[in-house]
Amino acid sequence: MEVGQTKSYDVIVVGAGLSGLQAAYDIQNAGLSCLVLEARDRVGGKTWTRKTKNGKLVDVGAAWINDTNQARIYEWTKRLNLDLIEQNTNGYCVMQEEDGSVGLFEYGSVPKFSPQETENMIKIRDLVESLSHATTEVHRQYDNMTFEQLVRKHGGGSTALATAKIWTRAMLGRDPFQVSAMYVLDYYKRLGGLLQARSDRKDGGQYLRIRQDCHWLLARACELRPLALAGAVGLCKEFAANPYMNTKDFERSYWELLLPDDLLKKDLIQPFP
């Protein structure tokens, strides 16, 4: 490309995670030209496959799916003839407490805390499960507090809060004090509720894994519909009549921003909403 030359596309997608790649695939199937911009040197977003010292591949990012409420990703595994493995739920789970001590408890049961701690933790768990099925109007009542504040407001003790940390760290990569209570409740609602989202059994969020790892899914998907990839995103300038994306070499009228909320930066979009 010559210096100063700008290449145009019908649509520019920002973010080469699963949502971005799916959007690009659908856009190209509709007959439009599309460019995917990704700031990192890989695609996949929250999925991330690394090579071990012995040369084997292991998923260190998002890895589990199900065939119940994750229809798009499940459809891709079938389309690409990938093998799926059911998560093992027989036996015991390992639990490490905040003081470093380690214990076991049978899958599907409750860890052995004191009777008071166990009762308190179950109360908070059942409350969050109930709220995760509530209407958006109910969820709005919790938009002005963090998830930690919700737990404490309803009498959650240290054990209940430590359990809540597992929920948000595992699913969102954030501690309870860092995320809106409304966001957490809405997130779990879209996954079928807290218990279904955390479950490793049928319908649960951790029910199936791809035997070939997520790297195969991404590689095979890109083979079906090659994508034009570009490096770090420059600046998104939005005007009422003509929104466009401007990087070092690319400019276009329409763009899709497919990034997790916590990755957005105020200098990425001007004016910032």
For residues 203 and 64, the answer to whether their CB atoms sit within 8 Å is: no
Helix, strand and coil content of the chain, in percent to the nearest 5, comes to 35, 20, 45
The pLDDT, as a whole number, for residue 35 is 80
Is residue 197 within 8 Å of residue 190, measured between CB atoms?
no
Residue 44, classed as helix, strand or coil, is strand
Check: CB of residue 20 under 8 Å from CB of residue 260.
no
50 C-beta neighbours (distance < 10 Å), count: 12
- Retrieve residue 48's tokens: 């991330």
Maximum distance among all alpha carbons in the chain?
71
- Per the annotation, binding residues are 19, 38-39
> For residues 229 and 245, what is the distance between their CA atoms, to the nearest angstrom?
15
The distance of Cα 119 from the centroid of its chain, to the nearest Å, equals 31
CATH architecture of the region 11-62+215-270: 3-Layer(bba) Sandwich (3.50)
Nearest residue to 210 via CA among 34, 38, 13, 18: 18
Mean pLDDT of residues grouped by 10 in the chain (273 residues)? 60 83 88 82 83 89 90 90 93 86 89 92 97 95 96 96 94 93 95 94 93 80 64 47 48 59 55 48
Q: Where are the domains of the chain?
A: 11-62+215-270, 109-199
Q: What is the pLDDT of residue 254?
A: 61
In the annotated binding site for FAD, the residues are 19, 38-39
pLDDT for 260: 63
Instruction: Give the span between the Cα atoms of 262 and 174, in whole angstroms.
Output: 10
| Correct CATH for 109-199 of 3.40.47.10, 1.10.405.10, 3.40.50.720, 3.40.190.10 | 1.10.405.10
3-state class (DSSP) for residue 21: helix
Instruction: Tell me if the pTM is above 0.85.
Output: no
CA distance 1 to 7: 8
